[in-house]
Every structure is written in structure tokens, then in C-alpha cells.
Structure 1
Amino acid sequence: MATFNYTAKDMSGNTINGTFEAASKNEVIGLIREKKYIPVDIREERSGTKLNKDIDFFEKKVKLRDLALFCRQFATTLRAGITVTDSLDILKKQSTNKRLKSVVEVLHEDVQKGNALSYAFSKEPKIFPPLLVNMVETGEVSGTLDAVMDKMADHFEKEFKINQKVKSAITYPIVVSVVAVAVVVMLLTFVVPTFVQMFATFNAQLPLPTKILISISETLKSFWYIYILVIGVAIYLYKKYKETPEGRLRVDRIKLNMPVFGDLNTKVAMSRFASNLAVMINSGVDIIQAVEIVQKVVGNDYLKTRLEDVKDGIRKGYGIGMTMEQNGAFPPLVYQMIDVGESSGTLDYVLDKVSDFYETEVNTAISQLTTIIEPLIIVVLGFVVAFILISMLLPMFDLYNIIS
């Protein structure tokens, strides 16, 4: 996938600038025509130099919290009657995030040159998601940019809270698991060899569990680099596989169906899907265009392909809810509620409620996940430690009988 900057004309003859992520120029032409624009110029955005990439690597990333604060401050300055150009000048001085500050400086320069704010945003796809770019474009056309920025601030704050909750739920078991593995490795490399020397001194007959444990200990102590190499290769192959279209699709599908974490991943994805689609529809964005934007921000390639089916269904005249029910990727609550929203003409309101519901469900799922994982880790760790202790104690009983 590459990033293409385009210039097009609408039906009134106005010049439209924007950006698309696509595989080829022909795909970009198709996307432009779907918006009922006439393509004029399409250029592929070239990646920066290696030096710039290295600088980007060390720079502080722009988090959702920073983006929410940026949108909130932007809305406040616009509501106070300050122009877009002056607002950007104020925001670049206030920003504490160096990466965002440098980007806002570029935005300020672009707008000063006469470019639309949405076009300036679209040139920074790694900072500003497609949802924000399209919402800004809608706000510019309707003259409600301040309201749009406020709405986006609320949206990014909500996304940030959900992400933080998920991270906090995952961090605890990861930390405990790492500590547990470290303890076991220390036992195998430092404690077990001491007992092995003692058993060898007395020529003790070793039971099978002790032999297995000693073999693991010796290989870990002598060939530790092989373990590290195998783990490193496994991680490398996994990342490479995940970079392929088939790999991303399969991994993302597994994420939604895996034990324990699958339910949480599904609820997070549904909350994100409903929240983003509600924002777009509430702002008057065309439903097909709204689904296209949601595809880019939903964060799951499997759901992205299923949403392609939803777009096809809409083009054929079917309802969103009916198409979702047929492709089987969405929970019944989602497509049933969407059916109700479509029938009553309150789709944006219903999607907001679905998003709120799944946000609550995410909180519940995180609490349940913590409740399940804590005892599970303790049981697994207890089993491993018990195996080590028993394997060491069994020969000692034999030694005691020999000495007696």
C-alpha cells in the first residue's frame, strides 16, 4: 500500500485536495470517482530519507491523548473567533509533544499558502487518522469546524480510555508471567545444578522426573543461546507472516476467536466500529464513504474485509444490518440495533448507544479477565515449582534410606 495525494474537481467545479492509501493509481481513481469527483492529478507520496526515518524513530509518538487535547484546544480557539491560521500558530506554541509541534508548524505553513486544512491534515496520515481528515473536510464545507473538533476530541478521549483499560488488563499478566519465567530459569540454572553434584557424589539412582529436570537444566545452562535464538526466530517469522495480507487476515481473525482474550478483542472492535461510524453519520457523511473510513480505523483486517461486504450490500440496496447479519462477523446485538436505527431513521443515535454499551462491556470483560488470569498464572506457576521440588526431593528420600 502506498499513499497518493490527489487533486480533483467536484460537480460545481471546485478544487478538492486529499489523500488515499491504495495499491495503485487506478484504485485511487476509482475511490475519487466514488466520491463523485473528477480526478485531475494523482501523485504518489515519496517516503523520507533514512535520516528522517531515524529521527522519526527516536521522536516521541503522538498518542490519542495528545490528539484529543489538540482537537479540544483547536475547537476552543475557533469558538473564540480566532481564524484557522492564527489558531494553528497558537497551538504550535502550546504543544508539549515535539512531534505534534513540528507537524502543526507544517500545517500552519500549508494553510498560510492557501491550502485547505483537511488537505494539510491528509499529508500527515501517520499522525491524523482518516476519520479526522474527513471530519475536518466536512466541518470546512458546513462551516462547523469548531463543533467537529469538539466532537473529535470527545471521540479520541473515549478511544484513549478504552486503550488504556485494555493495556492495564494485559500488563499485569505479562509482568507476572515474565517474573515467573525468570524465577523458574534461576532455579534451573543455579539451584538444580547444586543438587545434581550432590546426587552424583552418592551415585544415587534418579527417578524419571529428576532425569527430565536435570536434562532441561543442563541444556538451558549449556545451550542458553539456542533458546534465545529459537525465540528470536519465532518472533521474526511471526512478524514477517503478519506483514503479509493473508497473515494479517488470519491473525486478526484468531484475535477475535481466541480463548479468554477473544471476547475482549471483539468488544473493543465493536465499540470502536460503532463509535467511528456514529461520528461519521452524525456529521452527514455519505454512508458508503463512512464505512470506507471506518475500515481504515477499525484496527482489524478480518473486520475490514467483512465491511467490504457491507459496502457491496449497501450498493445493491440492502440495509447495513441485513448485510452484517449475512456475513456473520458481527454480534447479533450490533446488526439488530442497526436494523432498528435504519428503520426509525436514528442510526447515529443507535450507534452511539451500541458504542456506549460495548464500552461498558469492555470494562466488565477486563474485570473478568483479571479474575480468570490471576489464579490461572498462580496454578501454572505452582505446578512448575511443585514439579521442580518433587523432582529434587525424590532422590533425597533414596539417599536418606542409603545413609540410614
Structure 2
Amino acid sequence: MSFFQYIGRNSHGDTVEGWIAADTKDQAQNKLNQKRIQPLVIRAGVSRIPVKVNREALLTSLRELASLRRSGMGLDKAVASIAALTEDPALKDGWQKVYEFLHNGFSFSEAVENLPFIFPRYVPSMVRLGEANGDLPNALLSIAQRIDKEMELVGEIKSALTYPAFLIVFSISILLFLFSYVLPNFESMVDSSNGQASALASLLAIARFVNDNMIWILGGLITSIGLLIWGMKEGKVQSGFYRLAAQLPFTRDVIAYWDIIEFSSSMSRLLGAGVDLLEGALLSAEGLSQERLRYRLLDAINSIKQGESFSQALQQKQVFPNLVIQMIAVGESGATLPDSFNEIAHLYERRMKNALKRAITLLEPSVIVVMGGLIGSIMIVLISGIISVNDIAI
């Protein structure tokens, strides 16, 4: 499922714009027509849109909104109050747009669905659930809890990757220093026409190329950084990262466990709130990062509609590992599926943390060996070249 950006006119003739989740452009147009919006422009986006606001600020504002709603304040006034109190500029603009959507006749779930850069993709479905059962404050608190959990996990990942990232940046800086400053000083020591110190001569040729094209190299680096930042804002980097990480042996287990945690946590909350099993599975499938896994789950849901049990359908389509399916089967037999999904989430949180530690344990020495070997090889060539030149001179 991808996001489509649109510009259209509502039933009052006002111009509205936002994003809508759909599989195809035609499906996006049909959804807009159902919302009584006449689309003028529909532009295809990406499957994963990154949240551009501070998650701590979003977490706080959601809890404040839940408190205001519990106190009996109207939704539009509560949203206006949150927009006035929020200090984060992007989040303030997001809440103001939610307020505008509400005044244009949108429901709260439809309003947040139009702002995927502000609210994570699972927020609209959970808000829709709260609207359906008349308990929006609890739905907002559940969203806040999920964001809090995500922040904790993402914080652990960032902390684990800090040291390898520092090593890579530091090693690249050393290489640039060697090629741009140190190696040119050895130019006069090597007479490449006589075949002396051929390895050192090759390094000097690379150093000359680097120095002669330094402007182009720096321009390429700046352009690459700019494209990387743009790709992250558009969600293209995240989508590519998830696809790549799901294939690499170091990170494959981490991504698989993360999807199990996301699905199980969502199912536990939705089923606990009284949502139908099929509807909960459809809503939870939207949060999966692997498209292949999402399609398998959707196929399993179609099998459930034909009369198969949830666990049997998951097993036939090979959606999750056997342990997960067995725990789901136990929950089905005892009518305790919410508790079973909660146990699955806790179990795989521990497994994901252990898998992440293993990946980092392998990543750090790999970076040290590769970068250290590269820099060490250059130093060995330099020393060997100096020795060979001295031998020739003698």
C-alpha cells in the first residue's frame, strides 16, 4: 500500500489537500469520492512516509488531547488548544491543519490520515476505532504508549549504531587526509618510469587524481548528502533500507522480529478493545514494513473469510514462524487471543534486542577490520616504498 498526495475540492467548494493510503491511483480516487472530495490532482507517493515531527512532542500532545477530551471539552476546541500550546513548529502546523479538516467536515481519523508526515501510519486506524466505540481518549493514550515504545526501541538502535558510524566517518576522513596531503609529499621519491615502488606509484596516481578533481569529489559528496536528505524526507531511503535490511544476514532477524512485534502489539490492543479479528488483522497489516509479508498476511485473511481458522491460514501462507502460530492457536482455543498476542510481543521484543546486539557485535569488528585494513595497507605501501627507494639509492 502506497500514499497518494491529492489536491481537490470538498462539498463546500473549498480547496483541500493531503495524503491518502491506497494500492492504486484509481482506488485513491474512489476513496476521495467516498469522502465527498472531487480530486483535481492525484500524485503517487511512496509506501513508507517518515514522520517529520519530534516524537516526544507528538507523544506529549496526544496525552494532552486525551486529557482535554476526558474533561468534556469539544474535539475542535481541544485540537485548537493543542495547536496553540505545541512548541514544535511542524507539529503546530499539523494540529492547525487537523483543526481545518475538522471544520471542513472531516472526522478526526480522516484528518490525521491526511497528514502522514505528522502522524504515524497506524494512528488513523486506532483513532477510527476510538471513534467507533466512543472512547477516543483511551485510543489516544494507546497511540501514545505505542509511540513511547517505538522511541525506546529506536533509541537503543541509534545508540548501538553510534560507534560504528563514528568509525566509518573517522576512517574516511583519514583516507582523504592521506590522499590529499600525505601521499603527495612522496611524489619526488618515486620514479615510476623505472618501475620503482610500483605499489607506491599507484597510490600516488590515485592521490594526484584526488587532488586534481577535489572540487568534483567534494561536489559529489555534497550532492550525495543532499540526495540522501531528500530521500529520507520523501521516505525513499527508509523503504530501500527496509528492503535491504530484510535480505542481509546481519539484520534480517531484526526486521522480521520488528514486524512480529508491530503486528502482535497492534492486534493485542485492537482485539482487547473489541475489534473483530478480520478487521484487526487488516488494520495491523498496514504497519508491516515488509511488503512481501503484508501480501502473505492479506492472502491469509482471504483464507479466513473462506472458513479457515486464523492460525491455520497463517501457517498455510507461512506468514510467521511456527512459535508465533502455535501461540496464536493456543489463544484461539482458549479465547484469549489478546493475551496471546501480548505475550508474543514481549517474547519477540527480547529476541529482537538480542538479535540487534548480535548484529552490532558483528558490525563493529567488521568496520574496524575493513577500514583498519585499508588504512594499514596504505601505510605498509608507504613504508615499503621508502625502504625500496633507500635500497636503490645505496
Shorter-normalised TM range? 0.7 to 0.9
The residue number in structure 2 matching 1:44 is: 39
The residue number in structure 1 matching 2:369 is: 379
Query: How far apart, CA to CA, are the structure 2 residues paired with 1:230 and 1:329?
Result: 42
Query: How far apart, CA to CA, are the structure 2 residues paired with 1:250 and 1:370?
Result: 20
The residue number in structure 2 matching 1:102 is: 93
* Cα separation, partners in 2 of 1:98 and 1:399, compared to 1, 3 Å: closer
Partner residue of 2:316 out of 326, 334, 342: 326
The reply to whether residue 353 of structure 1 matches residue 355 of structure 2 is: no
The 4+ residue runs of structure 1 with deviation greater than 6 A are 4-7, 228-237, 247-251
* Cα separation, partners in 2 of 1:301 and 1:66, compared to 1, 3 Å: farther
> SS state of the match for residue 379, structure 1?
helix
* 1:76 shift after superposition: 1.7
Query: How far apart, CA to CA, are the structure 2 residues paired with 1:102 and 1:351?
Result: 36
The reply to whether residue 119 of structure 1 matches residue 110 of structure 2 is: yes
* 1:230 shift after superposition: 7.8
The residue number in structure 2 matching 1:2 is: 4
* Cα separation, partners in 2 of 1:173 and 1:354, compared to 1, 3 Å: same
* Cα separation, partners in 2 of 1:219 and 1:20, compared to 1, 3 Å: closer
Query: How far apart, CA to CA, are the structure 1 residues paired with 2:296 and 2:277?
Result: 16
* 1:329 shift after superposition: 4.8
> SS state of the match for residue 22, structure 2?
strand
* Cα separation, partners in 2 of 1:218 and 1:271, compared to 1, 3 Å: same
Partner residue of 1:85 out of 76, 95, 102: 76
The reply to whether residue 284 of structure 1 matches residue 274 of structure 2 is: yes
Q: Which amino acid aligns with 2:150?
A: E
* 1:228 shift after superposition: 6.6
CA contact (8 A) 1:89 1:105 kept: yes
Q: Which amino acid aligns with 1:23?
A: T
The residue number in structure 2 matching 1:173 is: 164
> SS state of the match for residue 121, structure 1?
helix
Q: Which amino acid aligns with 1:2?
A: F
TM-score, normalised with respect to structure 2? 0.79
Query: How far apart, CA to CA, are the structure 2 residues paired with 1:302 and 1:351?
Result: 21
* Cα separation, partners in 2 of 1:190 and 1:271, compared to 1, 3 Å: same
CA contact (8 A) 2:267 2:341 kept: yes
The residue number in structure 1 matching 2:22 is: 21
Query: How far apart, CA to CA, are the structure 1 residues paired with 2:378 and 2:257?
Result: 40
Identity percentage of aligned residues: 23
* 1:391 shift after superposition: 0.9
Q: Which amino acid aligns with 1:347?
A: L
* 1:145 shift after superposition: 1.4
Computed over aligned residues only, the root mean square deviation of the Cα atoms, in angstroms, reads: 3.9
Query: How far apart, CA to CA, are the structure 1 residues paired with 2:155 and 2:311?
Result: 30
CA contact (8 A) 1:2 1:45 kept: no
The residue number in structure 2 matching 1:271 is: 261
Q: Tell me, which stretches of 5 or more residues in structure 1 are unaligned?
A: 8-17, 33-37, 49-59
CA contact (8 A) 1:255 1:262 kept: yes
The residue number in structure 2 matching 1:192 is: 183
Deviation string for 1:329-386 (max 9, x for gaps)?
A: 5333322322222222222222222222222233323333332222222222221122
Query: How far apart, CA to CA, are the structure 2 residues paired with 1:235 and 1:344?
Result: 54
> SS state of the match for residue 278, structure 1?
helix
CA contact (8 A) 1:248 1:301 kept: no
The reply to whether residue 152 of structure 1 matches residue 152 of structure 2 is: no
* Cα separation, partners in 2 of 1:249 and 1:328, compared to 1, 3 Å: farther
